[in-house]
Structure 1
Amino acid sequence: FSSVQTADTTNLANLDVSTYAPPVEFGFHLQQRVFTYNDVSVSVGLQDIVFQNSESESGLSLSPEQLSFFVVVSSAKQLGSYHLQTFLGFGTGGFGAQDSLPTTDSTGAPAGVFAGFYLNTPFFNKWGGLDFVGEFDGIGINVGLRIPLTSDYRLNIGFTHIDKLPSWKIRYWSGHPALTVGFDMAVPRRARRVIGDISGPSPLMTDAGDMPVFDDQFSDQFDSTLTMANFMVSSLRDSVVMVNNEMRNLMVRLSAMEQKSNFLEDSLKSFKLSSNVEGKNMNEAMRHLSRSLRYFYG
């Protein structure tokens, strides 16, 4: 859903007497996946359902010339470290061939076949990977390259209608080739609220690979820094659990060593007591022997 209201360009001095009403426009896009088999799916949709007002009519009216119906067959495959998605479809309106020059011929709505591919490569994998994009829009071939600069910033380079490069010097015409450069910045979205007893900045992970999973339509737009932070917090939580277990084991070993120390201390005291008793008995025996010898020789 989208809505737009243009600005009022009336001179400031004439705002009080101006009857100009700025145009208002509302738009909807509908899409539904109707069939799925293994890695192949079929989707249908209707785009550019636009309601807008005009100076000649009151209220909002539907703009039928902008309606775009489409059917697309898509496939997703994992080829080793590469992820490939392909698309093939048929569409009308905005999906048909568009002439960039004004024309008075209005014999029906445009329609056409379109195809494309998206290839995610393992290059710069720590920042999301290097992406190649290509499409055929019915009148030309367009290709693009998305280069990750960091985990949050990407540089986009595109070439439109590269099949017309030999005609580069010709003046502006329908289907002219062009070079486009763009810059993407990932803006974090607020994650879904988690209900339950949670300690720490992120939910407790029951498995080492159990990462938070969000809806497909939002997954590519989440800040990768937050995802990496959740992973680091999960790893640190596991490390803390391991350290706690090691401390518990060390405390058990310390208690066992204290018991052994007490046992050895008791044994030492018993040995000293036995030595003292033996020494006392030896002294008494020597005194008795000395007295006996004195009587014998006396």
Structure 2
Amino acid sequence: MTAASIPSVPTVTLNDGHTIPQLGFGVFQVPPAETQKAVEEALAAGYRHIDTAAAYRNEDGVGMALAATGISRDEVFITTKLRNGEQGVTRMALENSLAALGLDRVDLYLIHWPVPSQNLYTEAWAELVAARKEGLATSIGVSNFLPEHLERLEQSSEVVPTVNQIELHPSFQQRATQEATRQRGIAVEAYSPIGQGVDLKEQVVKGIAADLGVTASQVVLAWHLAQGTIVIPKSSRPERMAENLGAVDVQLTAEQIEAISALDTDKRVGADPATAAFTQL
């Protein structure tokens, strides 16, 4: 793919004034031994937003890819996340992530899950606020936070998260959580944006794809983008990486967006943040 053919990815301005590329590349479930190659291919395809996490055990692969490509650090937006079992040692966890990535700061650091049974996420948030002040993280946010978790953070801190990264796709839209997030000025970021492939089988999606001459994946990603949602699809195949990136050029009509939105079944693919309590260690 030549530079001229790489799609121009729009950005979203966060509530702290910093911007994030609206479409990024996620490395969830990418094996550590394959991560460097996958990220190098994603960067070559034109991605400038890479999403990882300590729990994925592949931060070092992301870091090696950044070093190998020689792309300027300021040109690539890097997100990583705090493991559930390290909410009591947040500063140390962030330092370990930075060491693995080979960076002196990340662009976005997230609390991966609230884990309400631990009752530590407000303390962890205070540590994220401190880390931001020190320049270890440019922006800070949360992931998998439900309305009640956002409300408790609001009561405990004057600092509002910039992002809430949640499971979000046409068949599971978390409308109450989206509303609670957006009304606080927090950007919504979707993981599992195509429902781990399930939503691509919907006749509505396939029909729109056929009408537009694009793929089902591009249709679903374009649906996210049209609503201002940040989205982080993943793929280990270069042709699929390029395909997903091409979603930024797909324009849906209001009727097509509405038809896709009507697919909501309220069925999760992943864990429920109200009860999830795994340590990720």
TM-score by length of structure 1 reads 0.24
The higher relative CO (CA closer than 8 Å, separation ≥ 6) is in: 2
Structure (1/2) with the larger strand percentage: 1
**Structure having the higher Rg:** 1
